[in-house]
Amino acid sequence: MNFKYNKKNAKCMWCKRTENPHPEFLHETIPTKIFVSMLGREIELCFNCYEEEKKKSNSNDIKFKENLDLRFDTIKMLKF
């Protein structure tokens, strides 16, 4: 799994972090990767949020993509 480091304007769509939380890399942006959901949405996640979503889906790729859509819709409804 390749996450992009030092990406300009990197922002996790779940936790909203923009800066790397690791104490040795505070000068860097947060490493992120764009995942495509079942509905074709491009969701940018940091490594930590990705790991949480992967756990929730029991490492099932289809369930992972469905969970991305469910969470995106929930955040959209809450306007978070």
pLDDT of res. 59: 84
Residues of the chain falling short of pLDDT 70: 80
Domain residue ranges in the chain:
23-78
Residues 14, 37 contacting (CB under 8 angstroms)? no
Nearest-angstrom CA–CA distance, 28 and 39: 31
Which residues lie below 8 Å from residue 27, measured CB to CB, with a gap of 6+? 20
pLDDT of res. 22: 86
pLDDT of res. 80: 59
